[in-house]
Amino acid sequence: MENKKEMRNWLNEFNLTHPFVIAGPCSAETEEQVLKIAHELKDSDVSVFRAGIWKPRTRPGGFEGVGEIGLKWLKKAKEQTGLLMGTEVANAAHVKLALEYDIDVLWIGARTTVNPFAMQEIADALAGTKKIVLVKNPVNPDLSLWLGGVERLYNAGIEKLGVIHRGFSTYEKTKYRNIPEWQIAIELQNKFPDLPLIIDPSHITGDRNMILEVTQEALDLNYDGMIIETHYDPDNAWSDAAQQVTPTALKQIFIDLKVRKVDDMSDEFTQKMKKLRTNIDILDENLLDLLGKRMKVADEIGQVKKDANVAVLQNNRWNEILGKMILEGEKKGLTEEFVLKMFKAIHQESIGHQEKVLNA
Ligand code: PEP
Ligand code: MN
Residue 109 Cα, ligand 1 centroid: separation in angstroms? 5
pLDDT for position 314: 78
Ligand 1 atom 6, closest CA: 109
List the domain range (segments joined by +) for residue 220: 4-256
CATH number of the domain residue 168 falls in: 3.20.20.70
Residues 274 and 128 grouped into a single domain: no
Quick check: is 271 in a domain?
yes
CATH number of the domain residue 343 falls in: 1.20.59.10
Strands, E assignment, the chain:
20-24, 48-50, 84-88, 105-108, 132-136, 161-165, 197-199, 225-229
User: What are the φ and ψ backbone dihedral angles of 15, each rounded to 5 degrees?
Assistant: 55, 45
pTM beyond cutoff 0.85: no
pLDDT tens, per residue, the chain with 360 residues: 555 556 678 999 999 999 999 999 999 999 999 999 999 999 999 999 999 999 988 888 889 999 999 999 999 999 999 999 999 999 999 999 999 999 999 999 999 999 999 999 999 999 999 999 999 999 999 999 999 999 999 999 999 999 999 999 999 889 999 999 999 999 999 999 999 999 999 999 999 999 999 999 999 999 999 999 999 999 999 999 999 999 999 999 999 999 887 788 899 999 999 999 999 999 999 999 999 999 999 999 999 999 999 888 778 888 888 999 999 999 999 999 999 999 999 999 999 999 999 998
User: Pocket residues for ligand 1 (CB within 6 Å)?
Assistant: 26, 52, 56, 88, 109-111, 136, 166, 203
Quick check: is 262 in a domain?
no
Residues 22 and 96 grouped into a single domain: yes
Q: How many independent structural domains does the chain possess?
A: 2
Would you call 181 exposed, middle or buried from its count of C-beta atoms within 10 A (0-12, 13-18, 19+)? middle
In tens, the pLDDT along 240-298 reads 999 999 999 999 999 999 988 778 889 999 999 999 999 999 999 999 999 999 999 99
Q: Please give the share of the chain, as a percent, with pLDDT higher than 70.
A: 98
Residue 241 Cα, ligand 2 centroid: separation in angstroms? 9
Give SS3 for 216: helix
